[in-house]
Copies of this chain bind each other. A is one copy, B any other.
Amino acid sequence: MNRGKLMEIGLNKVNRNLHPINSTINIGENSIGSNNITIIAGPCSVESEEQIVNIAERVKASGATFLRGGVFKPRTSPYSFQGLGENGLELLKIAKEKTGLPIVTELMSLEYLDMFLEDVDVIQIGARNMQNYPLLKEVGKIKKPVLLKRGMSATIEEFLMAAEYIMLEGNENVILCERGIRTFERYTRNTLDLSAVPILKKLSHLPVIVDPSHGTGLWWLVEPLSKAAIAVGADGLIIEVHNDPLNARCDGEQSITTGRFQKLMESLKLIAKVENKIL
């Protein structure tokens, strides 16, 4: 049995044994991995200036510390909305200007790396690209923080190895994100693996956040799973929030409204306090 053991050798840069102290990643006034809970909120896709600015203002008012919003979207079907691309990035910048919220968005192609270096605060590597090694190596050569999502069927070990790819090139600013794994269960989009949080924190020194939106695929599960994520020891959350989920261009069924987000933040504060964390 390999339970409780990693099977391959080779964890070095991510290994807590070699770096016993928690790593923290500082972005503006925010410190990810510290006693402050990081809340990244925003829509699945940037759709218009009005939409992204409105959502950014609302989530900031409720206490979010980062703005998320997809502009290059990896979609299963080529006929689905692929995101606004560079124009979307411009809209994210407007929202950042108006609210001060740093930007988290996904990079799919090295073609846009320079643009992301300039405009984006945290570069997200999505689940589908967790083992896109050329991409990992390139974001490893910069200093910009990288939010690395666990692959849909990646083991804990493979996930840590992907982070090792980035860090081995020199970038130590890696944030791990559990976002649900693929199982036989069909009621939810994925099965959120909250046990991954304390495991990742034991094996590595990196900050670990949780995505309850993709992790469940159902908006009404976001609140209970967010609370559970904080209770299990996560350093933060990335949550899909939309001003009009029923008409969202993607992932509406897993997005919560700005009003519900505000209530969620209130209940998260209580859990955070029990965990001696600040929210």
Interface residues of A (CB under 8 A from B): 1-10, 12, 74-80, 108-111, 128-129, 131-134, 152-153, 155-158, 161, 164-165, 168, 181-189, 191-195, 197-199, 202, 215-218, 220-221, 224-225, 227-233, 253, 270-271, 274
Contact = CB atoms under 8 A, between A and B. Distances in A.
A150 to B, nearest CB: 10
30 contacts: A1-B7, A2-B186, A3-B187, A3-B188, A3-B218, A4-B187, A5-B187, A10-B79, A10-B80, A75-B133, A76-B158, A77-B164, A108-B134, A132-B132, A152-B153, A155-B187, A157-B187, A183-B191, A183-B193, A188-B195, A188-B199, A191-B193, A191-B195, A192-B193, A195-B221, A199-B221, A202-B220, A224-B232, A228-B232, A271-B274
A186 B7 contact: yes
Contacts of A274: 270-271, 274
Given A230-B231, A232-B225, A184 B3 contact: no
A232 to B, nearest CB: 4
Nearest to A153: B153
A167 to B, nearest CB: 9
B216 A164 contact: no
A5 B7 CA distance: 14
B253 A3 contact: yes
Q: Which residue, A168, A197, A217, A224, has most C-beta atoms of chain B within 10 A?
A: A224
A77 B188 contact: no
Chain copies in complex: 4
A74 B233 contact: no
A78 B164 contact: yes
A4, A12, A108, A158, most chain B CB atoms within 10 A: A4
Given A3-B218, A194-B192, A78 B183 contact: no
A188 B197 CA distance: 12
Contact of A78 (B10, B185, B199): B10
B76 A156 contact: no
A215 B10 CA distance: 25
**Across chains A and B, which 4 residue pairs bring their CB atoms closest together, nearest first?**
A153-B153, A231-B231, A109-B134, A128-B131
A225 B126 CA distance: 26
Contacts of A80: 10
B217 A3 contact: yes
A187 B181 CA distance: 14
A153 B184 contact: yes
B195 A225 contact: yes
Contacts of A111: 134
A183 B227 CA distance: 24
Contact of A77 (B1, B10, B182, B185): B10
